């Protein structure tokens, strides 16, 4: 599962990202803010250098438990 995400990220260069990145609208901005908050919380809980899968799992759980009502509106 995670290999596909990594592979896709490696195939896209930085210049491609900056020129093709979509402009986020209100709901999308709030959704990304929720994900960013969850990532920060997950990293803070595991300062010893968590593996990506562990951070991803913690973010997923955080979003569903605390912000699910906002994400799924």
Assess contact for 39 and 46: CB atoms under 8 A: no
Task: Let me know how long the chain is.
Answer: 73
| Residue 17 maps to a domain | no
Domain count across the chain = 1
Q: What is the pTM of this model?
A: 0.36
Enclosing domain of residue 68: 22-73
Q: State yes or no: pLDDT of 3 exceeds 50.
A: no
Q: Is residue 29 part of a domain?
A: yes
Residue 38 lies in a domain: yes
The answer on pLDDT for 31 being more than 70 is yes
67 inside domain: yes
Is the CB of residue 16 less than 8 Å from the CB of residue 66? Answer: no
- Evaluate whether residue 13 is within a structural domain: no
Please determine, for residue 30, whether its predicted confidence score (pLDDT) is greater than 60. yes
**Angstrom distance (rounded) from CA 34 to CA 59:** 10
Q: Angle 66-56-68 (CA atoms, 0-180°, nearest 5)?
A: 20
Q: CA-based diameter of the chain, in Å?
A: 36
The Cα 68–Cα 73 span in angstroms is 8
Overall average pLDDT of the 13-30 stretch: 55
């Amino acid at each position: 599962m995670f290999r596909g995400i990594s592979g896709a990220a490696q195939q896209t260069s930085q210049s491609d990202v900056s020129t093709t990145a979509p402009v986020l609208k209100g709901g999308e901005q709030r959704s990304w803010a929720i994900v960013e908050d969850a990532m920060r919380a997950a990293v803070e809980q595991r300062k010893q250098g968590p593996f990506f899968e562990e951070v991803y799992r913690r973010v997923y759980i955080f979003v569903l438990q605390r912000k699910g009502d906002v994400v799924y509106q």
